[in-house]
Structure 1
Amino acid sequence: MSKIALITGITGQDGSYLAEWLLENNYSVYGLVRRLSTPNYSRIEHLLDKVTLLEGDLTDQSSLDAAVTEAKPDEVYNLAAQSFVATSWTQPVATGEVTGLGALRVMEAVRRCCPDAKVYQASSSEMFGKVLETPQRETTPFYPRSPYGFAKVYAYWATINYRESYEMFCCNGILFNHESPRRGIEFVTRKITDAVARIACGLDKELRLGNLDAYRDWGFAGDYVKAMWLMLQQETPDDYVIATNEAHSVREFVDLAFSEVGLNYEDYVVVDPKYFRPAEVNYLLGDATKAKEALGWKPEVSFEKLVRMMTLADVERYEKIYGKPEESASIVNTGRSAQEY
């Protein structure tokens, strides 16, 4: 008999990759979606006939109780959140309600309605913020530098408290930055590759960014969802850092992306102070040794390959809409179609 999984945030980047992985492993997949006047199912359009969508909201306990009761899941993956750091500064209370208290409500729904279900909580490297040691591992103290970061800290400790207080199987995955062609356009990696594609296709002339010297540990989202699943296949619940063990600067990302289309980023990138954070997080580097040893997990997609696949996908997207300019006839030639990602 196949297992049943409930994914909150199924329409997001991670949710779509996780749903694919679970379906490949013969799960019955339920996804929690908020009611919107214009539903955004673009990332899971190819899965709509294979998954069951349930309406619900992380700010509404009754809807979460109802979703868990209907799905009767063996595993619950809480991926839903207000996940954009910049927005957390302008909407700190909303971020706390969804990202922090929302996770608590998910735990409570499982405790009330399906206490034997295993729970994965999407924690974040942003909890480390102003880092107190490098690299960051499971024992590194938290020092969040944004409302998003401290909302995630709340959710992290809620997960541990439910594990210890109610003997529930609850895990935190402390995931460092993970990207893909499905990343939201507001995030810096997609902002970069989208702008590179627009410039390469003759649709734009510049890219405005903030701190080019911020370093992040960037991996591929498709690799990271497998780590989420592995956590819930263990005999005992625990918390794990998921990372590539490599840090790269925004400048490196920009340079590689422009190089993919044969351009020099210095001719197009403008540093704009309005894109700097009120409190900067300058350097994040994860140590995923525990995940490697306990879960048998390791990243498969390199940083260079990640930048290439994202740039390729955005170039192909614009070329489908506007056609291929003569001067960009060979701007990206990796030998793979963006559809493969």
Structure 2
Amino acid sequence: LEQDLPLVWGRTITSVFFGGGTPSLFPPAAIDRFLSAAAARLRFAPGLEITLETNPGTAEHGAFPAYAAAGVNRLSFGVQSFDDGCLTRLGRIHDSAQAERAVRLAQDAGFGNINLDLMYALPQQSLAMAEHDLRRAFALAPTHISHYQLTIEPNTLFAARVPAGIPDDDAAYDIQEHCQALLAEHSYAQYEVSAYARDGNTCAHNLNYWRFGDYLGIGAGAHGKITSGAEQTLLRRFKRKHPSDYLRHAASAERIGGDSVIEPAQRPFEFMLNALRLVEGFSLRLFEQRTGLARHVIAGELAAAQAHGWIAIDGEQITPTALGRRFTNDVILLFLKD
């Protein structure tokens, strides 16, 4: 943080997110020290959202009140599934009983703003099993559910050894449609491709990503995006990935794994990659503010998307249609420059 302060002097911090896997292994006292040190160096907005990602398999009784005392006011549990067979096939270290217990411990400690991560289209998962996962989640009454499809990423164990029984595209879409209807029935409003909130409890931190806002990435493997200068230079920066390697260089420029500037020609695609995930879409004014470009540079692509029935244009507002949300990748690709 000390090293990156010059990038964000004078700016207000509107959210903090402790992520990257299992930050709940970080003791509450360390979270408290970091937040206190950060607040002493940067302006924190009143009531800012402070989220801690939590692995149900590492949740400890007694830790949640201490996290709350440190300033954490939102928890995100990586449940993934309430089916023990699915969890085993995913290689998770917790079972469904541990997940439920961890969430209830957090609620007993006073946490009211809780997200549950759930995946669907898992190996050997049926539509009924995916529905059962959601019903188990509803019983815990979280304020937010992230419900996303399993994807096989390159250079992962699943990519090297694809598990049997992954639902095909048609089956996955059937699960998605059925679960979206179930979430709406239980008052979880979809506001992004895979994000659903009750009573307006959207995730401020993730909304900043999707609106192409700036964020500072601190720690091993962290990524950030910062806009600076009169010319609105958009800088992406990532830190060294391996924790021990990062710690050896944390106090020097060697901590940086790489920097890259988002050139003007790339910005429409980068913006759409985020903003078109939102059900509300975006305003042309926001596009201009976040990219530093005039709206006319995307007029042709917007017209093409509208002709396909993928977006609706109402004055300043660009909104994906139901068809557009189904073919989000195709819409985004319109803005990719050769």
TM-score normalised to structure 1 length: 0.33
More strand per residue: 1 or 2?
Answer: 2
* Greater Rg over alpha carbons, structure: 2
Structure having greater relative contact order (Cα 8 Å, sep ≥ 6): 1
TM-score normalised to structure 2 length: 0.33
